[in-house]
Amino acid sequence: MWKKHNKWTRELIQQMWELQRKLWEHRNNIEHTQMTPAKQQQLDVMMTRARDELQVGYKDLQRQDHHLFTNPESALSMTLTDLELWLKDVQLAPAGSRCRQNPKMQTGCSLACSDTRLARMALHV
């Protein structure tokens, strides 16, 4: 009789693990591959921001940040996650460039740039 309980318990645990894995895969699929109305709206807003950034271009950026604008078509065809990261890179690039361009700002620069970056990230998250 003990063997039957062990087998039953083992099979129950295996079924629970399988159910948990299926739930995780389903959620992961929705989170990373399916376009929900909320995600579409967020993508539309980010696309507008990306177009604005591409129109401004790299005029305020240092040379090492120009790579962000070398292929505008790829920026406009990015996934939601990639576009969000690209926009953050573009937003953060001028803050660091201004600090490097102006030697007078370098005293306390990392703190000031860090505060600027955090503020910008908070606005765009």
Say if residue 81 is in the same domain as residue 110. yes
pLDDT digits (tens, 9 = 90+) for 35-85: 888 888 999 999 999 999 888 888 778 888 888 888 888 888 888 889 999
Total domains in the fold of the chain: 2
Say if residue 45 is in the same domain as residue 13. no
> Helices 80-101 and 109-124 sit at what angle, rounded to 10 degrees?
160
Report the C-alpha gap between 1 and 9 in whole angstroms. 13
Report the C-alpha gap between 35 and 51 in whole angstroms. 21
| DSSP calls for 6-67 | HHHHHHHHHHHHHHHHHHHHHHHHHHHT---HHHHHHHHHHHHHHHHHHHHTTTTS-GGGGG
Say if residue 61 is in the same domain as residue 2. no
Confidence of residue 112 (pLDDT cuts 50, 70, 90): very low
For residue 76, give its domain range: 37-124
Say if residue 75 is in the same domain as residue 95. yes
pLDDT digits (tens, 9 = 90+) for 71-109: 888 888 888 889 999 999 888 886 555 444 444 434 444
